[in-house]
Structure 1
């Protein structure tokens, strides 16, 4: 059996997965097949209005490559953007930019083992754009020109992408796949390919692969959005009816090989730069032409339940103060419908790897021998059913792009696209069949009759080899294990009582929102929206945040963000809180911003009161429990190992602090400084501000206003004490200082070639907003010029961006261009970035550039205004900064009013070469590259 592709039926229809299943697809989907065997599916979706999402999936990926073609499927995907029958090279991106589609965000593609997918996100479904978008997708199917000169230009970009993907995680994944599936094509068909093939593969191989595998029988199109299904079906049939007329039969799927998980085998894979040691015990079984059936879906639901229980058990163990475990999870999943893999993965501290192996082995054996407790099952079932119900409740406002991505994945995986109601029904059946006996039997069926694969990776101590790993595992296996202790009954001990109505309520009509003040000084803002059904977002802004940082406690903000919530509440631990809230939609986060602390929640109407009570409890009675601090401290070494060995980590820990003058939250602590921080310091910093500081609550989403206000009256109107009417922490004379004219080189401690080049300029804060908007649009213009210069023209970089980062607290901002590179290219590309910036003066911005930057931005802004997170940002702090509301009113027209002259003047004002700061980050350059 191979992948998901089946033979054509007698009617030459696309092999839809429901044809071999007892499951019926979502009735909202229209399925169709062309006489040539190509398939299409269409679904209407009204959110966002007018938008259309298209996915063209060709069931051909790296597994179809010959040895001489390794990497060619992915290379071919790139060539689809370099000239087709109807879109000349260098014109496609610009054409769709003018229509409001950003390169990367709205026009993109990806290649996997078993498929190549092309993506279009259309601003609307107007007939002309419908015709052009389908013309482009048809060109991808059989109209790519594969010009020799374009192939040569693209080789450098592919190599740059390959370099950017060369990470510890990728190397580990590649090694583990080879260990688990030896002798199969998965082991030596990574989609990114081989450097020698990328560098030398001739055009003839491109043509051969393209003509062989891009067949209508292997192709289907997904169209979702605010569309007329009849019109789109007709247009699809017209656009693709002649696809494949000049092709013979599609080739047979290649043979993948055989898999076996008998016996016990081990592999130690050292990655000294790995974040932590990871131990994984796994097993598997081949999937032999297994159709997608109701029974299979129910079994997978039960697998989710039992793996959730195992994961929760491991989470609890990780919270023990002396545990070697840092994190862990259990899993079962089908890998490309080829093999079902099951396992437990745990990260551990390097010097305690053996203890970690023993814990994983014994926890798995506890479940195999003693099974599961009823209380554990109920908790896992509740979470499974909650997720399924949320999908049902949110389907009317689900984004069209989300539907398109799901359908493309499911059909390519030979899975029937079900309705959310059908998925809920299956989840309910899985839950009803999940008893201690059935789950233990299912677990034993997976593990008892199969072998073990032991994989140890990361900064494993020298001298540890595969035989040592097996010896530790087998020694642990001889230890008797007892059943896991039963969970005790738990209740949530915090619930506010009483109520206090606002003393003042102000209502705004444009945008429609309300603001209130309570007698205790608490401020509240709320906005009801129709954008995300049954979803509510909450932010509590408290105190001074970064403005109140203690000068003598470097790292205290990182401790707060990493450990505060993990410290739980005084009357209930963080872990027990997870059990109490099982099946309820509550999600609590904490962060430190430049001018405040932010407690955030995400919930639904029926759980709103519980979420608000949890947020209040963290305000009034945080626990600062030792297990939260212990877990955080035990992870510090692994965090800093990753920071020191990746360009992203150096950017965060050294480059950004350099550009901000090491001010405030940007002052990155050393590892030793962070280890010195403790909960007593954190308590002293947070509690006074939590109990007495300025407090503003903002709520956005799908709620009944009367019910929300009653909840706010109860939870926040009754907060004890008297809050100040304005923040007591204000901006002083000092602030971030940009290093004008300076240049820094930062080293990455890595043997993996990696680096980045950045050129940055001092810009401005968020206000005045007109200036901030001009800088934002200017960054889009620069981003496009970077695309042309360092990607299309020179092929130096695959990943790059230009952006502006304005502070909403200080009159300070940073405008920058950055590219991700191999180390030997860092300095030359930094110079190229500066040359592109300087070109704004020598080659003034054109009206076409303004339009191509503006149109995609307007589309994104329109979509943003239909996003609850945007409105939460507008409301958050709006009683401190009321101009935020005015900014939301003028958002679209503000961008539309920006002229070429505005952009040119902004560039002349801020992008002054003498003020630029240069940042170069690189690992040591390999000798052969010097």
Structure 2
């Protein structure tokens, strides 16, 4: 009998292994097909969100296919697809989509990589005309871009501005390190953004040739997921895309690779504008594809490896005397070309050797001893719990997630077996993964060949940087140390030191219109419950009371503003921060206290199962905060290290200046300094924190999501009803800090690149009402449309002009509107004049009707989407309560939106954008 059992098991095992070695089938819930011309499609019905559909056009076409004369033209082609197609000439495509509520840049977008170009279009699906037009847009993108000569020439300036935005220390260093990382392969000379020489010099026929050669159906796929009829959509796709033509003389689509040479490489790159020293050791391996069940299992093993190793570095960072700002190691993917084992350290000034050795020491430790069983057990439990929680949301997965899976399946042949199959694989494989397998990963990935060592540092430190032999001696030195195995210390104590003495619910009220239950607890805490079915297993919450840092003097401000972060990083109750991380692993819990200028409170996200743990944390942070000297000293030491070279970065210098000017140079608005960091006092921080959370009677907690009222009530009574109350409710105080009035102009000269940043800030007093907030939002929207049309399309002077608005009721009723953009220094005056002209025009002429219509369509669609998310309701309810505004204002949105007109835009702009309070802040390169 025993022999028969063994023989049967051997047959079964061989069968399973055979299945594991087969490619995983595609998700059975997606309809897929390939037309006779090679065009591929994926269609899936999904109702999250309802009445919405997401369409992607994927092209296996990227910068790697460019000739030397075409460098940058794959990306240029992507731009041109928005600038005129057969059915939407000039800029009509963007204009049409804005009319139906699709935002350019946020919703409507595209990207170009080395090997692919992908266009994305989210649309409402409840209007057949809009849906059909969306398919037509995809058809136009596939093969019917116009590529008009005038449009091409106009777009050169826009793309140059996009290139300009990316310039700086990081880009300059990348240009030097990338050829080494990519082994000087074709990829190293095909950055998608291109070169100025080609972008300014190419003839229009060159880009047309690229388009004809590569935008062809046998390299394309259409992915459609949303609230649609799959059968009907398939008929439309076959009708619309079957006549796409491949070229008569078809160029072969070469699959380029980066060969592994077996050699080791070393490079040091410095730049006067980089503020930190970074060192990386990157060991390159052939990329592992995930096609079969065995591949999937291997990916899970590597994921567990990263999770455990990441936990070790997190623990190390919280120990006394950590000699680096940031450090870690793990398996990563480099641009889809390699799998890598990357060790990195961001060093403290003058401490590169010490910091690197500390990071490398952990790599050596796992080489010698591997991982521990308790670490693996905890990581496996976390993996399984994560999948279990995801399964609870399986019918609430948003369409974007499915689209991205099918996109990777088409572009990279990455398996997309569907959620049910993935759950089967995870629950089947995870329990059987062993320490031996994880330790085998160590031997496979941490090797001494195909290894690149990169050092990037400030120019002023060049003389003190090590050469290759010095770094190798550091590695050899650590490898020769006598190390001990990692001790996985886990606490078995309860989270809380004291058992809460539960309070009682003393009052309940239900608002049937809003679907909100209001509870009052015996200690004065108020609780708002908004039950929804947007997710099956998501609970968001916020608790706040008034006061904040406004109640403390300028001398205590630095301590007060850092008090909550010091406490939250120190642990809670019986657990220090290291123990707490391990305790929470496997739980879907994120709870964080905060103290800002006007209020103090908590933000949290959790699930039904882990709600009690989340409330225990709230109770613990309220009543049992910990004081950890090691954590405090590490935080302040790191903060000081980051300040040392802050002045070398143009962006940080400009940001500090911007905040200082807009804050009227109040000490609470100026940038970080060593003096400010030295003002932070640990004992005072704990005292201030306890003061802010001493009186629960002033707190209001709002919960939204998957709420079971009968189950949550006793938890609220136990953990919130037991909070201490002194009934000395406090209010915040006005500090009188606001954007200064009058006309101010300031220019910062910093940086070597020929790039400028411009901020135009309008501000002043504001009549804070729901109606006026919507009017201000309308001004923001129509002005941003005009900024794109004027500064980008007409002037070809910017890439992404931005308009932002902010309004506040407390401590003062004020508003600000900020127009910002990057451009060439020579164009600053011209573009500032054009931007101010558009602002002035709003006050004198209002907006054209079409732009008002675009705003109303976009705002309506965004509002509709927001109403179906827990995040919207939590933010809305919390904001209304903080401002003492009625909760039913949300129901007036449609009426107020429909009242927005050209005249209301004109009158609002005339009232607030007078130009009397205008601040111009400009960053220019050093003279």
User: Residues 573-594 of structure 1, C-alpha deviation per residue, up to 9 Å, x if partnerless?
Assistant: 1121010111000112343334
Measured in 2, the distance between the counterparts of 1:179 and 1:769 equals: 56
Q: Which 10-residue stretch deviates more, 688-697 or 52-61?
A: 688-697
Measured in 2, the distance between the counterparts of 1:837 and 1:208 equals: 42
- Aligned-pair CA distance for 1:621: 1.6
Q: Provide the secondary structure at the position in 1 that maps to 2:926.
A: coil
Superposed, which structure 2 residues align to 1:815-830 within 5 Å?
Answer: 815-830=817-832
Measured in 2, the distance between the counterparts of 1:884 and 1:526 equals: 16
Check the 8 A contact 2:493/2:574 in 1, yes or no.
no
User: Residues 847-872 of structure 1, C-alpha deviation per residue, up to 9 Å, x if partnerless?
Assistant: 22210121111111111121211111
Indicate the residue corresponding to 1:799 in structure 2. 800
Indicate the residue corresponding to 2:715 in structure 1. 711
1:654 paired with 2:657, answer yes
Q: Provide the secondary structure at the position in 1 that maps to 2:222.
A: strand
Check the 8 A contact 2:572/2:617 in 1, yes or no.
no
Q: Provide the secondary structure at the position in 1 that maps to 2:423.
A: helix
Q: Which 10-residue stretch deviates more, 864-873 or 552-561?
A: 552-561
Indicate the residue corresponding to 1:876 in structure 2. 878
Measured in 2, the distance between the counterparts of 1:672 and 1:410 equals: 54
Q: Provide the secondary structure at the position in 1 that maps to 2:586.
A: coil
Measured in 2, the distance between the counterparts of 1:174 and 1:425 equals: 44
Indicate the residue corresponding to 1:770 in structure 2. 771
User: Residues 127-184 of structure 1, C-alpha deviation per residue, up to 9 Å, x if partnerless?
Assistant: 2112211111111111111111111111111011011122444444454432222122
Check the 8 A contact 1:862/1:892 in 2, yes or no.
no
Q: Provide the secondary structure at the position in 1 that maps to 2:103.
A: coil
1:165 paired with 2:166, answer yes
Measured in 2, the distance between the counterparts of 1:409 and 1:229 equals: 21
Check the 8 A contact 2:755/2:824 in 1, yes or no.
yes
Change (3 A) 1:168 1:423: farther
Q: Of residues 734, 745, 748 in structure 2, which corresponds to 1:746?
A: 748
- Aligned-pair CA distance for 1:882: 4.4
Check the 8 A contact 2:550/2:597 in 1, yes or no.
yes
- Aligned-pair CA distance for 1:366: 1.1
Measured in 1, the distance between the counterparts of 2:95 and 2:261 equals: 51
Indicate the residue corresponding to 1:304 in structure 2. 303
Check the 8 A contact 1:790/1:829 in 2, yes or no.
yes
1:514 paired with 2:514, answer no
Change (3 A) 1:554 1:716: closer
Indicate the residue corresponding to 2:785 in structure 1. 784
Measured in 2, the distance between the counterparts of 1:638 and 1:188 equals: 36
- Aligned-pair CA distance for 1:371: 0.7
1:623 paired with 2:622, answer no
Check the 8 A contact 2:510/2:517 in 1, yes or no.
yes
Check the 8 A contact 2:746/2:920 in 1, yes or no.
yes
1:907 paired with 2:909, answer yes
Q: Provide the secondary structure at the position in 2 that maps to 1:221.
A: strand
Indicate the residue corresponding to 1:282 in structure 2. 282
Indicate the residue corresponding to 2:687 in structure 1. 684
Indicate the residue corresponding to 2:46 in structure 1. 45
Indicate the residue corresponding to 1:348 in structure 2. 347
Check the 8 A contact 1:586/1:601 in 2, yes or no.
yes
- Aligned-pair CA distance for 1:556: 3.4
Q: Provide the secondary structure at the position in 2 that maps to 1:873.
A: helix
Measured in 2, the distance between the counterparts of 1:194 and 1:185 equals: 15
- Aligned-pair CA distance for 1:386: 3.2
Q: Provide the secondary structure at the position in 2 that maps to 1:149.
A: helix
Give the alignment's TM-score, normalised by structure 2: 0.93
Indicate the residue corresponding to 2:478 in structure 1. 476
- Aligned-pair CA distance for 1:110: 0.8
Measured in 1, the distance between the counterparts of 2:649 and 2:243 equals: 49
Check the 8 A contact 2:866/2:872 in 1, yes or no.
yes
Indicate the residue corresponding to 2:738 in structure 1. 736
Superposed, which structure 2 residues align to 1:191-590 within 5 Å?
Answer: 191-244=192-245, 247-262=248-263, 264-287=264-287, 292-335=291-334, 338-448=337-447, 450-459=449-458, 461-463=461-463, 464-467=465-468, 468-494=470-496, 496-556=499-559, 558-560=561-563, 562-569=565-572, 571-590=574-593
Measured in 2, the distance between the counterparts of 1:243 and 1:376 equals: 55
Check the 8 A contact 1:547/1:729 in 2, yes or no.
no
Change (3 A) 1:877 1:164: closer
Measured in 2, the distance between the counterparts of 1:215 and 1:503 equals: 69
User: Residues 634-678 of structure 1, C-alpha deviation per residue, up to 9 Å, x if partnerless?
Assistant: 332454468645565345433134224345864544342133212
RMSD: 2.5
Measured in 1, the distance between the counterparts of 2:565 and 2:271 equals: 25
1:839 paired with 2:838, answer no
Check the 8 A contact 1:292/1:414 in 2, yes or no.
yes
Measured in 1, the distance between the counterparts of 2:740 and 2:262 equals: 58
Indicate the residue corresponding to 2:890 in structure 1. 888
Change (3 A) 1:25 1:826: same
Measured in 1, the distance between the counterparts of 2:601 and 2:925 equals: 36
Measured in 2, the distance between the counterparts of 1:433 and 1:260 equals: 36
1:26 paired with 2:27, answer yes
Change (3 A) 1:386 1:277: farther
User: Residues 880-909 of structure 1, C-alpha deviation per residue, up to 9 Å, x if partnerless?
Assistant: 544251222222332222222211100100
- Aligned-pair CA distance for 1:604: 0.5
Q: Which 10-residue stretch deviates more, 641-650 or 705-714?
A: 641-650
1:62 paired with 2:69, answer no
Q: Provide the secondary structure at the position in 2 that maps to 1:661.
A: coil
Check the 8 A contact 1:522/1:723 in 2, yes or no.
no
Measured in 2, the distance between the counterparts of 1:184 and 1:519 equals: 70
1:721 paired with 2:725, answer yes
Indicate the residue corresponding to 2:4 in structure 1. none
Check the 8 A contact 1:549/1:664 in 2, yes or no.
no
Measured in 2, the distance between the counterparts of 1:703 and 1:834 equals: 50
Superposed, which structure 2 residues align to 1:807-818 within 5 Å?
Answer: 807-809=808-810, 810-818=812-820
Q: Which 10-residue stretch deviates more, 304-313 or 781-790?
A: 304-313
Measured in 1, the distance between the counterparts of 2:886 and 2:838 equals: 33
Measured in 2, the distance between the counterparts of 1:492 and 1:741 equals: 59
- Aligned-pair CA distance for 1:449: 6.9
Check the 8 A contact 1:759/1:816 in 2, yes or no.
yes
Measured in 2, the distance between the counterparts of 1:59 and 1:213 equals: 8
Q: Provide the secondary structure at the position in 2 that maps to 1:901.
A: helix
Measured in 2, the distance between the counterparts of 1:63 and 1:600 equals: 45
Change (3 A) 1:787 1:589: same
- Aligned-pair CA distance for 1:911: 0.8
Change (3 A) 1:19 1:857: farther
Check the 8 A contact 1:661/1:737 in 2, yes or no.
yes
Measured in 2, the distance between the counterparts of 1:566 and 1:684 equals: 16
Q: Provide the secondary structure at the position in 1 that maps to 2:569.
A: helix
Change (3 A) 1:796 1:648: same
Q: Of residues 553, 576, 592 in structure 1, which corresponds to 2:595?
A: 592
Q: Paired residues, what number?
A: 903
Q: Provide the secondary structure at the position in 2 that maps to 1:379.
A: helix
Check the 8 A contact 1:350/1:459 in 2, yes or no.
no
In structure 1, runs of 5+ residues without a counterpart are 1-17, 926-930
User: Residues 815-870 of structure 1, C-alpha deviation per residue, up to 9 Å, x if partnerless?
Assistant: 12111234444443223221211122454312222101211111111111212111
Indicate the residue corresponding to 1:604 in structure 2. 607
